[in-house]
Structure 1
Amino acid sequence: MNYDYISFINRIRRKPILIAPGAYDALSARLIEHIGFEAIYIGGASASYSLLGMPDLGFITFDRMSDHISRIRQVTSLPLICDADTGYGNEDNIRYVVKTYEKIGCIAIQIEDQVWPKKCGHLSNKEVTHVKEMVLRIKAALSARKEAIIIARTDAIDPLGINEAIERANIYLEEGADVAFIEAPRNINEIERISKEVKGLKMINMVEGGITPLLSAKKLEEMGFSIVIYPGSAIRAAAKAVITMLSILKDTGSTKDFIENMVQFNDLQKFLYKP
């Protein structure tokens, strides 16, 4: 499924809302495509969990993230929305990141306005850069991209409040970002304000157990959002299943009581080796 800039922008402008589950490895990416979703989100948090067994506190480097995306790109034809954190450095670094991500096969690249080392958007005590610094990041990304959508994320709600976050999102759109992403709205009122006051294409994040209330994709579409990502849903589901299986194995000495919740060996081989 090959998208260029125009075709992907046109897709996210039309309904239904684009739902992009997060892949934490190549297998989960194949499963997302198998179920029939249109796009995949590759986030730094899930990469940190799966590759390092660490929280999302800036441990994932550019090299690790680009390798991670490359492995996923090899097994799926779906468009990839890829997290570039703060851009991993100055404007020169950002240009290199964008060029590299495009070569790997990312159709959309997300850059945020946190300071480095960044934190997961649903953790507290985050710091954000000055607006002018983020504008430089956006302009660097725009100067380097050929076909990729540039998504500008702001984490300003936690340190500076919803008014500042909305103002930043609109500035980032005015400076050329294709999509605005205000991370971690804390309640329905803030989500509604974002939907009404951000003047452009908008992405939103659903994090189970996070700060933001969970709303259906249909509701978010009605509110005016164009993309909804579920960056950690798959890895949290996998972690829960593994914990349950291991607990049963430890208690009973067998996985027999969990086998109905597993993809059987032969079924998995058929899925992996299908032409």
Structure 2
Amino acid sequence: MSLFSSGVSDTAKRTALRAGLTSGELQRWPGAFSPLAAKLIADIGFDGVYVSGAVLAADLGLPDIGLTTLSEVTTRAGSIARATDLPTLADADTGFGEPMSAARTVAALEDAGLAGLHLEDQVNPKRCGHLDGKDVVPTEVMLKRLRAAVAARRDPDFVICARTDARGIEGFDAAVDRAKAYADAGADLIFTEALTDLGEFEKFRKAVDVPLLANMTEFGKSELITAGQLRDVGYNVVIYPVTTLRIAMGAVESGLREILTEGTQAGLLDGMQHRSRLYELLRYAEYNDFDSELFNFTLADGA
């Protein structure tokens, strides 16, 4: 890892992502709400980083209903991707338009250093995948999005993942049919939203012969399944999209309430990340060494 950006090329990250999908090992990708959170994900030893559209919207103070723009997603996702040597997959919603905008989205996120993205088959404006009131576009419309995205890809290792929200609208079998059609259109990875329990995940795995992504988001329609269980039924990737934001915001709210009532943060210190740990993640000492090496001269007497 370099001081000012990732020490691994974009191409190498995409190659690593591709290798992970075919490794037989479950790839675990927590969501990062910031570049600093991404650094912690990498430091702890996960396999990749995920950028959630819901998290990005929430961090901007917005609901997850398609209000964020391509430029906002590209800027934040690019900053997160550059923060570590891990591959980063970004949520690109519905591609921000039809279907030429989906092609532009691929180009923008490739340029920003992402290793891949996922596009979904919801109707615009989209909704959170674990809420009711969603609708999906006809399969052929989604196929146009995907074909445009695949055609726009310049790096063949850039991963295009297709997400279907059909399970909660059209049923399980329809979601399977859509997944197969999306794979035939060039999707490298399939993300089926809102499967209910381990039995459905296993049934879906048996029905679809392409790499699969499982979404383990909290408080949603899916049972929280362990990484070991998902590995055993043959899933390739699991994401924890909103977990870090929920942990952080829960702690922030609790802490702010204590400061308001107690008049001090003294009782919160044991639960805080220490300054030394923050500096370790940020590599303060290495920046200081870099700076010292640049300015290691002395002025001559009388100068």
TM-score normalised to structure 2 length: 0.87
Deviates more, 1:257-266 or 1:223-232: 257-266
The aligned residue for residue 41 of structure 2 is 32
The aligned residue for residue 133 of structure 1 is 141
The aligned residue for residue 165 of structure 1 is 175
2:115 maps to a residue whose letter is I
The aligned residue for residue 204 of structure 1 is 214
Q: Write the distance in 2 (CA, Å) between the matches of 1:244 and 1:178.
A: 41
Partner deviation per Cα, 1:195-232 (whole Å, 9 max, x = no partner):
21122110110011111001111110111110001110
The aligned residue for residue 93 of structure 1 is 101
Q: Which structure 2 residue ranges, 5 or more long, are not aligned?
A: 1-7, 287-303
Partner deviation per Cα, 1:20-68 (whole Å, 9 max, x = no partner):
0000111111111111112100110110111x22221112111111111
Q: Write the distance in 1 (CA, Å) between the matches of 2:277 and 2:177.
A: 51
The aligned residue for residue 191 of structure 1 is 201
TM-score normalised to structure 1 length: 0.95
Question: Aligned residues, how many?
Answer: 274
Deviates more, 1:184-193 or 1:81-90: 184-193
The aligned residue for residue 127 of structure 2 is 119
Secondary structure, aligned partner of 2:122:
coil
Task: Confirm or deny that 1:49 pairs with 2:58.
Answer: yes
Identity across the alignment (%):
34
Q: Which structure 2 residues correspond to residues 175-190 of structure 1 after superposition, within 5 A?
A: 175-190=185-200
CA contact 1:125–1:158 (8 Å) conserved in 2? no
Secondary structure, aligned partner of 2:162:
strand
Larger Rg: 2
Once the two structures are TM-superposed, the CA of residue 7 in structure 1 deviates from its matched residue by: 4.5
Superposition RMSD in Å: 1.4
Q: 208, 225, 229: which one pairs with 1:215?
A: 225
Secondary structure, aligned partner of 1:106:
coil
Q: Write the distance in 2 (CA, Å) between the matches of 1:228 and 1:149.
A: 15
Say if 1:54 and 1:79 are closer, same or farther in 2 by CA, change over 3 A.
Answer: same
Q: Which structure 1 residue ranges, 5 or more long, are not aligned?
A: none
The aligned residue for residue 160 of structure 2 is 150
Partner deviation per Cα, 1:80-135 (whole Å, 9 max, x = no partner):
11111100012221111101101111111101100111011111110100000111
Task: Confirm or deny that 1:236 pairs with 2:246.
Answer: yes
Deviates more, 1:210-219 or 1:8-17: 8-17
